[in-house]
Structure 1
Amino acid sequence: MRHLFAAVLLAILSGLSLPAAAQQPRYLISAQPMTDTPPGVQAWRVQYWTTNGSGTRFAVTGIVAAPMEAIPQRPRRVIAWTHGAWGVAEKCAPSLSPDFFAYTAGMDAVRSGYVVAAPDYIGLGSPTMHPFLVGQDTANAVLDAVRAAREIPGAAAGSSFAVWGESQGGHAALWTATAARSYAPDLTLVATAVAAPPTDLGANLREGSDKNARALLLSFALDSWSKLYGFPLDGVANRTNQGIIRRLAENNCVAFNKKPKLGTILGILTIARATKGKDIEKIEPFGSFERANSVDPARVPGPLLIAQSSKDTIVAPAITRKFAKAVCKRGTPLRWIDMTGDHGASARDSAQETIGWITSRFDGNPPPNDCRRI
């Protein structure tokens, strides 16, 4: 009897007696219900596992939201919301902000019956450097957020998803679409929607017409890449200005309803002057890294929606349009939305049309194609 018990115990511990479903990898670490949600919305602050492009494992954070209704008979449709730039410091995680629901356009989709998985990405809300505009690292975190959402019983999330992102999140969404089939074959990508997406990083960091915003975003990128990969800043700025770049990145999150502090304003003006006329794409190793993390239009699957304001001062409209034309040359169905608002309102201004377009893709309708008029 003792030998029989030992054999059974060994089988249990080795997983041989467990059903196949129990042997699947787990992504969700924790899901804490939130109480400060909009009407009709239930949400969880989540922590889950992901890996970066080198295969290193990280515990990261985010928010998953779903309709506050009885669990349906069929799994709910999922949208992965990829946020724009909030900063690169750990404290800048969207999930930590009391303004999360007010400034997260993707949450509008919950009212249409979607589960929304909103990752913070690696290094926001977790103690490691945030890989700002690093394509594969961010894509992995997004795809694993969808997987983690599926492990929350109350969310009832299915395996079919769309990805929708704004600004930095537009870059994240396009990389997620590119990586989905190889990294997460257990998920099915239905559609990709982006608003004001950086696509050619060298051109985007060079050609935005708002020089002050460009200086802050460049500081985020330089600080992130130098700390993660050891890239020297000597070819970009002197020692004093290198310190200013680091302080701008370490101390500042993007504020949606506050004026920046005087020190931040002075720091941004200093870096804007120091980098005036400098093309980071021509300074190695930054140039090669920008090119490696730009979006290859040939690799982005359709259907695709792009919303872009002609008056965007941060993501130059001409660069987005050039990317769209390259996508069209590949025969990819593309929905193009022209807008005239501010960069920061890109997703909000196009939200109703974007959610309708995503829903039509889930419904299996033929995608519209605006390539002839771009």
Structure 2
Amino acid sequence: MRPGRVVLIVFLALVLSGVMLGTGIVIGNVVTANQEQAQLDPFYTPPSTLPEKPGVIIRTEALGADPQFGKGYRFLYSTTLQDGSMAVSGAMLFIPDLAAPAEGRKVVGWAHGTVGQGDACAPSRDPANGMKDLSGFLPEAMRQGWIVVATDYTGLGTPGPNFYLVGGQEARDVVYSVRAVVDAPEYSAGKEWITFGHSQGGHSALWTGHLAKQIDPDLRLLGVAAAAPAAELASITNAQWNNAVGWVIGPEVAVSWPAAYPNLSLDGMITSAGKSNYERLSNECITTAAIEGLVRAQIGQTFFTESPTQNPTWDAVLKEETPAPLPADMPMLLMQGTADTVVLPWPNADLQTSWCAAGSRISALWLAKINHMSIAVNSGPTAVSWMTEVFDHKTPASSCDSPLPIIEPGQ
């Protein structure tokens, strides 16, 4: 056994011995969390008969967590799957205290990042964690009088499969969460809206930019904001498949992509350790999954046998789920931290360069020394300023001629 591995195992043993000292507290917290989730189960259980159309609120209740200058709610609403069948998703809803204008409130459709596929991971079922990424944006959005609606995505916290990094499903869930709020007269929502997402949610937001008009032509999507979007899937995968990130993202993809692409096989693509653990890990919430991923990577385990880009079938899905450049009439805000070790900076630098060359209208914010988890919060003020311009039907300044801080892989 290598000396480094011995040191790691000894270190983990010491950590675990320390954890055992607090076992009573840990067990107590787990029991409390399980009880809270069990109490929420009836709310998230769909009725025997679903609404006949998507974008309909099924039930609503107080979230138990209010933002500054507003009120928080959770709701269950109807959406559709890729085959057109009806499904349900949960969501958080934040309504400003400010009185609604005559033309109706502007709406922001938030798309969250990777959280894990277990029911307890759904943001609306765990608002203390679910609202963290919104903390740099939400209070000012309430001050502006905007509604913020935040889908959980289909199958996350509700029955049915969760289609992680499947752009069409993500877009439907985002669009129909907005439609549900617009059609509820008590919220005084107008039809103009912007989508904003982080990480996986950035992927969701970019796909929403492409598909929103097709999904619901009556709503008017004005722009797309994305913080550290998981967009350039092949580049990210090639760089991250054999490290801890592969252990976090891999299990979720291994569950969701074969559900969306039945011909996609796991055989030969996932290691024996991956096969033994992917279903369990996909249901762990992100912090727990990340800790295990770090440990497995440190002892030399990989989730994938090789980069999925080397497998023609997997590579085809990576390409299909990679969003194309947005058209010039759909303004975009790209925000990225240069210290991000999850969605690496250089693929999004490549995105900015290639999308600008293709005619996309991109405003960009590059923040030095900001990591993946911090970018959503730290970019909040810029997102609000940009959205204010877009909601006012102004043209935000383009960054397409500005120099990029990150241009080479590995930097």
TM-score range, shorter-chain basis? 0.7 to 0.9
- Contact 1:214 1:314 survives alignment (8 Å): no
Name the structure 2 match of 1:245: 278
Q: Does 1:100 align with 2:130?
A: yes
Shift of 1:267: 4.8
Shift of 1:243: 1.6
Task: Give secondary structure in 2 for the equivalent of 1:356.
Answer: helix
Q: Does 1:169 align with 2:198?
A: no
Shift of 1:112: 2.3
CA offset digits 1:190-228 (Å, max 9, x no partner): 111111111121221222499212321122112222345
Name the structure 2 match of 1:125: 157
Name the structure 2 match of 1:147: 179
Q: Does 1:187 align with 2:219?
A: yes
CA distance in 2, matches of 1:126, 1:225: 18
CA offset digits 1:263-307 (Å, max 9, x no partner): 66545657853537x111222432211111111115585211101
Name the structure 2 match of 1:305: 333
Shift of 1:43: 2.2
Which stretch of structure 1 is more off in the superposition, 265-274 or 322-331? 265-274
Q: Does 1:80 align with 2:109?
A: yes
Name the structure 2 match of 1:296: 324
Choose which of 160, 165, 179 in structure 1 pairs with 2:192: 160
Count of aligned positions: 347
Which stretch of structure 1 is more off in the superposition, 318-327 or 134-143? 318-327
The 1:284/1:164 distance shift into structure 2, 3 A limit, reads same
Is there any run of 5+ residues in structure 1 with no aligned partner, and where? 1-22
CA distance in 2, matches of 1:290, 1:173: 17
Name the structure 1 match of 2:63: 34
CA offset digits 1:284-338 (Å, max 9, x no partner): 4322111111111155852111011122111121111111112211322211111
Letter in 2 for 1:357: W
CA distance in 2, matches of 1:331, 1:263: 42
Shift of 1:34: 3.0
Which stretch of structure 1 is more off in the superposition, 345-354 or 326-335? 326-335
Name the structure 2 match of 1:60: 89
Q: TM-score, normalised by structure 1?
A: 0.85
Task: Give secondary structure in 1 for the equivalent of 2:107.
Answer: strand
Task: Give secondary structure in 2 for the equivalent of 1:273.
Answer: coil
CA distance in 2, matches of 1:67, 1:138: 25
Q: Does 1:324 align with 2:352?
A: yes
The 1:83/1:25 distance shift into structure 2, 3 A limit, reads closer
- Contact 1:210 1:314 survives alignment (8 Å): no
**RMSD of Structure 2 on Structure 1 (CA):** 2.5
Name the structure 2 match of 1:11: none
Shift of 1:104: 2.6
CA distance in 1, matches of 2:297, 2:285: 13
The 1:333/1:34 distance shift into structure 2, 3 A limit, reads same
Shift of 1:261: 9.1
CA distance in 2, matches of 1:271, 1:88: 25
Name the structure 2 match of 1:280: 308
CA offset digits 1:68-98 (Å, max 9, x no partner): 2334333001111111111123332111113
Q: Structure 1 residue runs of 4+, over 4 Å off?
A: 23-26, 259-272, 298-301
CA distance in 2, matches of 1:271, 1:152: 52
- Contact 2:247 2:303 survives alignment (8 Å): no
The 1:217/1:92 distance shift into structure 2, 3 A limit, reads same
Alignment of 1:208-287 (within 5 A): 208=240, 211-230=243-262, 231-250=264-283, 252-255=284-287, 266-267=295-296, 272-275=301-304, 278-287=306-315
The 1:270/1:300 distance shift into structure 2, 3 A limit, reads farther
Q: TM-score, normalised by structure 2?
A: 0.78
Task: Give secondary structure in 2 for the equivalent of 1:335.
Answer: strand
Letter in 2 for 1:99: N
Letter in 1 for 2:265: P
Shift of 1:31: 1.9
- Contact 1:89 1:123 survives alignment (8 Å): no
- Contact 1:79 1:116 survives alignment (8 Å): yes
The 1:215/1:190 distance shift into structure 2, 3 A limit, reads same
Alignment of 1:295-374 (within 5 A): 295-297=323-325, 301-340=329-368, 341-374=370-403
Which stretch of structure 1 is more off in the superposition, 201-210 or 235-244? 201-210
The 1:290/1:70 distance shift into structure 2, 3 A limit, reads same
Letter in 1 for 2:281: L
Shift of 1:24: 8.9
CA distance in 2, matches of 1:226, 1:214: 17
Letter in 1 for 2:340: D
